[in-house]
Amino acid sequence: MTSKRQQLEQWTTVVADTGDLEKIAALRPHDATTNPSLLLAAARDERFRYLLDQARELAREMGHGDDLAWCCDAFACVAGQAVLEHIPGLVSTEVDARLSFDTAATVAKARRLMALYRELGVDGDRVLIKAAATWEGIQAARILEEEGIHCNLTLVFAVEQALAAAEAGATLISPFVGRIRDWHVKQGLEINHIDQDPGVQSVRRIFHLLKARGLETIVMGASFRNAAEIEALAGCDRLTISPALLDELGNDDGKLERRLEDTNVEPDTEWQPVNEAAFRWSLNDNPMACDLLSDGIRRFAADQRALEQRLTEEEIAA
């Protein structure tokens, strides 16, 4: 029998949403995504303590062994290198969320991460630099893509974020599903069918708009609450999925229907690029996107601070 995961992989590249190396090795996805939350979980796991040691050594080799920020960046990169040993595709490594409103600082941090990856002997084409889809983050991606550094714009909750990122030439965007659903449910929305899920609707709209406009940016749905949301987006370019949901799909032999295709999208040749004023107004005028983008940045920043604390404690104990 063919599982739903196997059926999904006929149309969609499956990405593991975890920093757990053992689970990645067992699940064998094509790509993997990391973020400060996942790296923090790995840093607290005794199985991956050796990565902390490798990070400190790498920072010392680069002449910054006493710099906490360099040690954190090094940890992200040695973790990314370890992930790449278990997958054939790409790994996403995130820029410090506290830089989300600073284009120059985001560019500088991305260049540093790529320098660390080069020191580790990692092919830069296998790395996606991940940044929040703020206006500043999108402009940083524009600069980085021109330099040949591929980017993943994350925390996408609004169409304007997706369009601006694609127009800037971002390699990939990560529109979220579950967090949008959660926000609307909290506001009292009752969802009786998966096609009514506002997170699913958002990704579908983004997918079709980008394809209609001939924008080549990869659409990767993220943040899933259940397998039904994943099934409703079968055919999306990529989907980043937690180990638990990957297991659920792998153990389900039911029939899966393709829901998204780019071959039957009517071209849109009269669109206008999103400018900064329109971008900022659209977010301001969208309470859901405004709330969730801000909350996502705060959460990742908090986990980054917790990761720094963890590395500090390890240094003291060493």
- Annotated active-site residue in 4, 23, 130, 211: 130
Nearest to 170 by CA among 186, 156, 184: 156
Residue 305 sits at the vertex; the CA angle it makes with 147 and 130, to the nearest 5 degrees, is 25
What CA–CA distance (Å, rounded) separates 294 from 308?
21
Distances in Å between the alpha carbon of 310 and those of 52, 66, 161?
10, 15, 33
CB 283 within 8 A of CB 158: yes
Rg (Cα) of the chain, in Å, rounded? 19
Active site residue 4: no
CB 269 within 8 A of CB 237: no
DSSP structural state of residue 124: G
Q: Provide DSSP, 79-91.
A: HHHHHHTT-SS-E
Give the β-pairing of 13-17 and 91-94.
unpaired
Q: Provide DSSP, 196-262.
A: G-HHHHHHHHHHHHHHHTT--PEEEEB--SSHHHHHTTTTSSEEEE-HHHHHHHHT--S-------S
Distances in Å between the alpha carbon of 163 and those of 158, 176, 210, 249, 279?
9, 15, 7, 31, 9
AA identity, residue 63: G
Q: Provide DSSP, 18-41.
A: ---HHHHHHH--SEEE--HHHHHH
Active site residues: 130
